[in-house]
Amino acid sequence: MIRQNITVLGSTGSIGVSTLDVIRRHPDHYQAFALCAHSQINKLFEQCLEFRPRFAVVRDAALAAQLAERCRVAGLSTEVRHGVEALVELSSCSEADAVMAAIVGAAGLEPTLAAARAGKRVMLANKEVLVMAGELFMHAVREHGATLLPVDSEHNAIFQSLPADFARGLPACGVQKILLTASGGPFRTVALGDLEHVTPEQACAHPNWVMGRKISVDSATMMNKGLEVIEARWLFDAPPEMIQVVVHPQSVIHSAVQYADGSVLAQLGKPDMRTPIAFAMAWPERIAAGVEPLDLFKIARLDFFEPDFERFRCLQLAYDVLHAGGTAPAILNAANEVAVAAFLEGQLPFLGIARLNEQVLQSLSAGPEGSLSDVLGADTEARHLAAQLIRERSFA
């Protein structure tokens, strides 16, 4: 295997840390070329000390100056940059062989799109890229010959369960349905009336996965699964009616594919993101990820339930915007990011997240996803309206 230079977008987040752990285990195969973070410069500096990347990127000039000075004192040759322009450049430059797209939220859209347009191996952990601009992004992947490998555990499982030539069309491959599994989060069995008083700490306590606070809240509302439904639509060219969410509390079956002959092919494993990360980094080969094999005797049972769309209103909203098309998914994603941030700051009750999302969708008209500027414009408009509704407390 030729040694690959990896740009890690979001290196201080949970996916980024797991990616660096895989790199650490295979120093002859992978090199951290650029490490990019938002503002956690202490953690980023420690990563620079260990992995010696050519570049490090942070949010703004002030943080970049602090990090650059610390790197200089430590004798590191790492060049420190800042801003979106640096992210775009280091995701698309000729020296980067692959990009781990793990920046959470809309902030990851431009650098990930740049990587696709540069024909890179794009390891996609940022679902918002496809939620906001699925048509544009997939067009860029096809037009520029990029290799797109899903890192979300569910989409990675679907990718592994589909035939290698699934791009010729799912019906032609005998696929009847994509079964997208969901843990149901921490509130699957909590009385609906009790959810109004849920705290951020409770919402972030996922029963199976260790994740960042934003994605943990999205899992608790099942917005995360709704975004994954939209992501699956674009990754696998699957109509919404072909994508079924299955609540599976154990998080052992990461997703499955149902075929016309009655077969169901699934990928199983422990809930550890290093498995799909290592798969994406090494594909079509396989490498050790540091994850223990699954012990079926210890699992003993696997349970499955239909999702409750009343309890998880955000999941229904995701299906609604997928049917609406255009910039509707971008509007929902933007409103949700604002809503979750407000909830985490104590400005919004837990059930208010779905209510705010629905109000923004009802108030704004979706337009066509004609260009990146159309998508970003819809994103900005939705954020402004969501913030205004929170200030005025004028949502249902």
Residue 210's pLDDT is 64
For 260, the 3-state DSSP assignment is coil
Residue type, 384: H
Cα distance between residue 381 and residue 376, in whole Å: 9
Whether 212 has a binding-site annotation, put simply, is yes
Please report the DSSP string for 295-360 in residue order. -HHHH-----B---TTTTHHHHHHHHHHHH-TTHHHHHHHHHHHHHHHHHTTSS-TTHHHHHHHHH
Query: 153: annotated binding-site residue?
Result: yes
Is 285 annotated to bind a ligand? Reply is no
The per-residue pLDDT string of the chain (396 residues; one tens digit each, 9 = 90 and over) reads: 678 999 999 999 999 999 999 999 999 999 999 999 999 999 999 999 999 999 999 999 999 999 999 999 999 999 999 999 999 999 999 999 999 999 987 889 999 999 999 999 999 999 889 999 999 999 999 999 999 999 999 999 999 999 999 999 999 999 999 999 999 988 988 888 889 889 999 998 877 666 778 889 999 999 999 999 999 999 999 999 999 999 999 999 999 999 999 999 999 999 999 999 999 999 999 999 999 999 999 998 999 999 999 999 999 999 999 999 999 999 999 999 999 999 999 999 999 999 999 999 999 999 998 898 999 999 999 999 999 999 998 665
Residue type, 230: I
69 assigned binding-site residue? no
Contact 115, 146 (CB under 8 A): yes
228 labeled binding residue = yes
pLDDT attached to residue 1: 65
Q: What are 98's strand-pairing partners?
A: 6, 121
| 225 in a labelled binding site | yes
Per DSSP, the residues of 113-180 read HHHHHTT-EEEE--THHHHHHHHHHHHHHHHHT-EEEE-SHHHHHHHHHS-TTGGG-TGGGTEEEEEE
pLDDT digits (tens, 9 = 90+) for 18-65: 999 999 999 999 999 999 999 999 999 999 999 999 999 999 999 999
What is the reported pTM? 0.92
Euclidean distance between CA atoms 120 and 48, whole angstroms? 23
Q: Where is 139: in which H helix or E strand?
A: helix 128-144
Q: In Å, what is the CA distance from 119 to each residue of 97, 115, 133, 141, 373? A: 9, 6, 17, 7, 22
Q: How far apart are CA 112 and CA 129, in angstroms?
A: 7
Residue 92 labeled ligand binder: no
Place of tokens 């570049």: 55
Is 183 marked as binding a ligand?
yes
| Beta-carbon count within 10 A of 128 CB | 26
| 128 labelled binding-site residue | yes
- 255 is annotated as contributing to ligand binding: no
Any known ligand binding at 365? no
Q: What pLDDT is recorded for position 263?
A: 98
Residue burial 200-214, b: 16+ Cβ < 10 Å; e: rest: beebbebebbebbbb
Is 14 flagged in the annotation as binding? Answer: yes
Residue 190 DSSP symbol: S
Rg for the chain (alpha carbons), in Å? 20
Predicted local distance difference test score (pLDDT) of residue 140? 97
Q: Is 154 annotated as a binding residue?
A: yes
Asked whether residue 85 is marked as a ligand-binding residue, the answer is no
What is the pLDDT, as a whole number, of residue 206?
73
Give the pLDDT confidence score for residue 128 in this predicted structure.
85
Is 127 a known ligand-binding residue? yes
Residue 86 to residue 302: CA distance in whole angstroms: 46
How far separated are the first and last CA of the chain, in Å rounded? Answer: 56
